[in-house]
Structure 1
Amino acid sequence: MSYETSTHSSLTRNLARFVCWPVKRTISRYWTKLQEFKKDVPSTLDQVKAFGIKYVETAGTYGVPPEKFRAMLDERGLKAVSGHFPYEKCRDDVESIAAEAKILGVEYVGCAWIPHKDPFDEKTCREAAVVFNRAGQALAKHGLKFFYHTHGYEFLPYGNGTLFDLLMAETKPEYVRFQMDVFWVVQPGQDPVKLFEKYGKRFELMHLKDMKRGTPSDFTGHSDVTNDVPLGAGVIDLKSVLKAAKKAGVKWYFLEDESPTVITQVPTSLKFLQETKF
C-alpha cells in the first residue's frame, strides 16, 4: 500500500501501519508496523502502548503538529526510530523533512512510493535515483539516514535484470539505503534471499509480511489488504529469508500487517517469530 492511498478510518484498520513494537531476539529487534492513524490518534497510541510497543515508525503525524505528536509519544514511552515521507518532499523540500525528523527523533528517513504512470519505466527510475541521491546527501548533513522501501513495481524486467537493479546501480551506497518489504519482493515474482545475497548491506531495514496463497502476481505495487496473512501462514519461506537477512547485516526488522484483522493476526505473527530459530 502506498503512502498516498492508505485511507482506513476505524480503530481496527488504523492499527496496521506505521507503528511498531519490539520482540527482543539474538540478532537485533523485531518490530511490527500498524496502520496509519487517520483519526483518534491518542486512543490509537494508547492501544499501541497496551500491546507493549516501545518504538514506532511514522508516516506523517496524522494531522497532529510534529511537536505535539512527539509529546504524545513521549507520554506513552514510545520512540520513533524511522519515518516515511512523500516522494515530492524528498524531491522538493528536504530541509522540512530534516526539521520534522529532528523533532520526532528518528534515525532513518524513507520514501515508500515513487509516483508514476503504470508501468514504471527507466526514465522514472533514473529520475528517482537522482532525487534519492540528493535527498540522502542533504539528510546526511543532519545526521539522518535515507532509505527507499521496495514496493513491487521496481522489479519490471530491464536489460539483463530489473529496474530495481538499475535503481541500486544509480544510487550511492553512502547516501541511499534500502528497506526490503518481503511481500513486495515475492508478489512480483522475486526471491528475497537472492536479493540479500546480491546486495547485502544496502538493505539496512526490512518489513516482514506473509502472503496468502493465490495472491495475483503483477508489477503494480498494489494488492488487496486481505492478502496479508500472519507470518508462517502464507507462501513465503520466512525462515530462509530471516537467515539471509541476518547474514546480510540487516539492522532493523519490522513485522508489518495491513490486513483488516490485524488485531488477531499480529499475536500469531509474534508467536511465529518467538518460535523461529535462525
Structure 2
Amino acid sequence: MKIKHLTFLALAFAMGNNPVFAQKGKPLFPEQPGMVSYTFRKSLAKDAAATLDTLKSLGIKDMEFSSLFGKTAADLRKLLDERGIKASSFGVGYADALDKTQEVGQNAKILGAKFVRVAWVPHQGAFTLAMAEKTVADFNQIGKRLKDEFGLTFCYHNHGYEFEKYEDGTLMDYIIEKTDPKYVSFELDMLWAFFPGQDPAALIKKYPGRFKLVHMKDLRKGVQGNMSGGTPVENDVALGTGQLDIPTILKAAKKSSIEHFYIEDESPSYATQVPQTIAYLKSLTY
C-alpha cells in the first residue's frame, strides 16, 4: 500500500505541474471530486485504514460506499471521521433496499450518508415495460420509507439497459417520470448513459431537478456500446482520454440539482488513472 500511495502522490504532483494541465480562464470544476469506493474495492477489502490514508492524501473528502468491506457501519464511520472524510451516499443492492429497508436506512445514518443508492435492477434479457412498472412501484415504496423513517433520499443509478425505446422516449424516461420526485431521485452514471447511445448532458437538461449524484467516468476510444449494461472493466479510462465530452456534461451538471460528483474507475489501472483524472478535472475551464 505504501508503494501505491507514493505512486499516487508522484503522479498527482507531476500532472499538477505539467504545462499541459495549466489553467486559463475560470475553473469549470474548482471543487475536489468525491470517490466511489468501488474504485478502490480490492485495497479497501485488504486494508481499509491504509486505503483511506491514500484517499486522504489525494484530497478526497467525500465518498460513496457500495460496501462496508466486512466492517460494521460504526467501525467504518470511525475510520472516516479520523481522516476527515464523509460518506455522503450508501449504495446497496435492489433486494436489500426493498426487503431490508430498515437495516439499510440505519447503516446509512450511522455512516452519515444523506443518500441511499441502487445501481442495478435484476432482470433477464432485454429490459421491458413490465420490468419498468415493477421498478417504479418498488422505488416509490423504498424511497418513501427511507424518507419518512430516516430522512434519506433514495437514488437510482442508471446502468444502460433502461434506455430501451418506449413510446417517444425510453424506459429510463418512464422510470423518471413515473416515480414520485418527493421520494425518488437519480444518480447519473456518465458512461452508462453514453454506452447505450444517449447524451448524458441532454439527459441532465431534460430532468434538471431529478439528478442529485453523478459518477464521472470515461469510455475507452473505439469501444462500441450496446444495451447490455456491461463492458469489460478495462474499458474505463481516465477522464478526458475517452469518448465522452466531459466538459459539456459537467457544464450541464453545474446548472442542475446534482450535489455530489464522484470519480468511478473500475479498471485495474486506477492507480495511475485516478491522479490523471483529478489533474484533468483541475485543468478544465470555461
Same fold (TM over 0.5): yes
1:247 to 252, 255, 258: 255
What number of residue pairs does the alignment pair up?
Answer: 257
Greater helix share, structure number: 2
Q: Where does structure 2 lack aligned partners over 5 or more consecutive residues? A: 5-26
* TM-score, structure 2 as length reference: 0.85
1:76 shift after superposition: 2.3
1:165 paired to 2:165: no
Q: Which has the higher contact order (CA 8 A, sep 6+)?
A: 2
Matches of 1:116 and 1:208 in 2, distance apart?
25
Say yes or no: does 1:40 pair with 2:47: yes
Q: Please report how far the alpha carbon of residue 199 of structure 1 lies from its aligned counterpart in structure 2 after TM superposition.
A: 0.9
Q: Equivalent residue of 1:233, what SS?
A: coil
- 2:32–2:59 CA contact under 8 A, matched in 1: no
Q: Helix, strand or coil for the counterpart of 1:221?
A: coil
Structure 2 residue aligned with 1:138: 145
Read off the aligned partner of 1:86 and give its amino acid letter. G
- Kept in 2, the 8 Å contact 1:29–1:252? The answer is no
- Percent sequence identity is 39
Conservation of the 8 A alpha-carbon contact between 1:204 and 1:250: yes
The Cα RMSD (Å) is: 1.9
Instruction: Note closer, same or farther for the CA distance 1:171–1:69 as it changes in structure 2 (3 Å cut).
Output: same
Contact 1:137/1:175 (8 A) holds in 2: yes
The structural deviation recorded for 1:25 is: 7.0
Q: Is the 8 A contact 1:28 1:251 kept in 2?
A: no
**Paired position in structure 2 for 1:59:** 66
Runs of 4+ more than 4 Å apart: 24-29
Distance 1:105 1:64 in 2: 15
Contact kept, 8 Å, 2:66 with 2:92, in 1: the verdict is: yes
Q: Does 1:89 align with 2:96?
A: yes
Q: Could you tell me which of 80, 98, 104 is aligned with 1:73?
A: 80
Is the aligned partner of 1:261 residue 2:269? yes
1:102 corresponds to 2:109? yes
Structure whose CA Rg is larger: 2
- Structure 2 partner of 1:31: 34
Cα pair 1:196 1:203 within 8 Å, conserved: yes
Indicate how the Cα distance of structure 1 residues 113 and 54 shifts in structure 2: closer, same or farther if over 3 A, else same. same
CA displacement at 1:60 relative to structure 2: 2.2
Q: Which residue of structure 2 aligns with residue 272 of structure 1? A: 280
